[in-house]
Structure 1
């Protein structure tokens, strides 16, 4: 059975290594210098898109065995509890202007950056994927799920650190000022008193959008994945 996991292992490794080895190393600067920014981003996005599709297809074709652990039924409640904030963070990541996002580094110079939705974390989208991975690892102990979700979780968590390092090196004082007003780890800046939290800052539209997304994921899960996420 293990040999049938190799396509998933290789595609997951390529997907994670492609993100870290290209976008977070000096190789990126050399490619941008040769290709220019927009063509590079187009080629890079296309490559990562292909790798993501191959990774998902490999996961769908991977064997159900071996199973590394069997989760208690009660853990499904924990998974649901993690997926709600993950959904809200994903909506924030898709809608809020963010100096950590591609081609938005100049936002760090805006003194209001980090006062609203980004007060929770300056990496909302990556933390959304990290929470998704953790939530699903809790209730999926088969080797294929551990490989896929572990890879996505590793990429998301390491990405927060690598992006911070890259922005610190390229954006200088503007980034340091933004980083002082925000945090990587969710709510750390709020707890430390460096940021203020409020639903009005995040925006009720974003919170509502996250709740709607969460409900849609619950409804679509049996249709797309074939398994109900609800405890039973």
Structure 2
């Protein structure tokens, strides 16, 4: 469990520097250069991600049950992960109404993903993993939107065709992940297929 917690602190910590230490971040980028910053940032993030994956896997070997979620929460979780996938795709497809409206679709998608998994899982490791990501995404989304407003950031107006592409690709990824990849990578088949 300790490896999971440290991994979360490392991964989410490095992804929080703009929120908690913006001046230090800016000074470091000015002194070391953007390329070196991105390189170090990426290395630390990958180390944190590996620790999360390993720590979560280890924690699942010796599970600590906190509550038993009702069966219907699995179905609700499946529904809530649909917008998570669409928002993830919206992060990378330029000129969508979705990005123009929400500003930071990945953070909003992380919130949907985390809530979905918190509803459907009752182990301590699940609470740490999904609760940690939710506790990170909520304030970061608020701060990011506020920072955008203060800086006068305006996202380009969306195009219906880009939204359609985003939704179709997001749904396709959701189907592939829910029916095949989740079982292969996580060891849990959401639909038992």
Counterpart check, 1:60 vs 2:57: yes
Contact persistence 1:64–1:142 (CA under 8 A):
no
RMSD: 2.5
TM-score (norm 2): 0.86
Match of 2:25 in 1: 28
> Cα deviation per residue 1:148-171 (whole Å; 9 max; x = unaligned)?
1111122222221232344455xx
- Count of residue correspondences: 189
Q: How many angstroms apart in 1 are the aligned matches of 2:139 and 2:45?
A: 17
Q: How many angstroms apart in 2 are the aligned matches of 1:221 and 1:92?
A: 21
Q: How many angstroms apart in 1 are the aligned matches of 2:74 and 2:162?
A: 27
The structural deviation recorded for 1:212 is: 0.3
What SS does the aligned partner of 2:103 have? Answer: coil
Structure having the higher helix fraction is 2
Contact persistence 1:76–1:231 (CA under 8 A):
no
**Alignment equivalent of 1:225, drawn from 181, 186, 193:** 186
Q: How many angstroms apart in 2 are the aligned matches of 1:64 and 1:119?
A: 44
Could you list the runs of 4 or more consecutive aligned residues of structure 1 that deviate by over 6 angstroms after TM superposition? none
1:1-232 → structure 2 map (5 Å cutoff): 5-20=1-16, 22-24=17-19, 25=21, 26-62=23-59, 63-96=61-94, 116-168=97-149, 172=151, 174-175=152-153, 178=154, 200=160, 202-219=162-179, 220-230=181-191
- Structure 2, unmatched stretches of 5+, are none
- Structure 1, unmatched stretches of 5+, are 98-114, 182-194
